[in-house]
Structure 1
Amino acid sequence: ASENYKRGHGKRSKLKWDPDRDIVQALDLAFSKSISTVEPTGKRFLVAVDVSSSLSSVTHGSSISTVAVAAAMCLVRHTTTEPDAQIVVFSEGSVRPCAVSSDMTFMQVAAHLIQTPGGSTDCALPITWASENDKSVDVFIIFTNNQTFGRENPADTLKTYRQKIGLFSKLIVCGLIANSLSVADPEDRGMLDICGFDSQAVDVIRNFALDVI
């Protein structure tokens, strides 16, 4: 609702309006407060946002920008409900921790995610970073606009990580503007590709992390 209102026009209708700052802030506050109702999973998440390409594109299956989706997920996973969650941004050859805290607003989180794009997408990078830094991660969630073009296969990188750390870590890759995605190994029950993003995707991610699906 917040992102639709801030655009100042409907997705399909000709109706237009001037967004009011107070209303925008109220919507963002309502979103932040709603996060407190999210039930914890007890899992250690690493949420990685691909900044190698523009984050202004519209997410497939919705009317909001990819940065808005990524910001929302970062907020959901980095509140006190998931105290062990870590947020990173990545682009070709680089992974950087992203300073996100539970008292930040939606817009503040979005601002942290807007980076200068550059290089190609390598979805194996967050897993490699976790391995090199001895991070214990139960679930990797990767948000990207592109297929992966790195030298390492993310599925193989995850399997190597599992062996090193001694955990059956899971991988969820969200292709936010993709009609098709083939990063996860379809034969591995601990990997999942999600094309686009809608209101049901958060539940799918949570249930997958908890072995409900």
Structure 2
Amino acid sequence: MPMLYALRNKIEVDAFVIYTDSEIWAGAVHPVQALREYRKQTRIAAKLIVVGMISTGFSIADPTDAGMLDVVGFDAAVPAIIADFAR
């Protein structure tokens, strides 16, 4: 989980991008909770972009949080979308 790694290693991050096979999550902490903890401890309004390579009908990012974005699939437009959202 990149947010937990950044916390442990005191790395300041503005945006995390996770590429996934669209599994909802694995591990002890859900990505949304890890991001919230990162924000709380660092006071950085970090964003989370989750790129699901396939659709399973589930969202990993919190749709009520304006600092999180789910993307399904990948084409030539996705890098620009990620960059624009991160800005």
Same fold? TM cut 0.5: yes
Q: 2:15 aligns with which of 122, 125, 139?
A: 139
Off by >3 Å, runs of 4+ in structure 1:
none
Root mean square deviation of aligned Cα: 1.2
**Residue from 28, 33, 39 that aligns with 1:151:** 28
Query: Which of structures 1 and 2 has the bigger CA Rg?
Result: 1
Ranges in structure 1 where 5+ consecutive residues have no aligned partner: 1-124
1:196 aligns with 2:73: yes
| Unaligned 5+ runs, structure 2 | none
Query: CA 1:209–1:202 in 2, change beyond 3 Å: closer, same or farther?
Result: same
Identity of aligned residues (%): 40
- Contact kept? 1:142, 1:174, Cα under 8 Å: yes
Are the equivalent residues in 2 in contact too, given 1:184–1:193 (CA < 8 A)?
yes
Query: Are the counterparts in 2 of residues 176 and 195 from structure 1 also a CA contact under 8 Å?
Result: yes
Correspondence 1:160 to 2:37: yes
Aligned partners of 1:146 and 1:177 also within 8 Å: yes
Q: TM-score, normalised by structure 2?
A: 0.90
Please name the residue that 1:49 is paired with: none
Deviation at 1:149, TM superposition (A): 2.5
TM-score, normalised to structure 1, is: 0.39
Matched, 1:126 2:2: yes
Q: What is the match of residue 75 of structure 1?
A: none
Higher relative contact order (CA 8 A, sep 6+): 2
Q: Is the 8 A contact 1:179 1:195 kept in 2?
A: no
More strand by share: 2
Equivalent residue pairs, number: 86
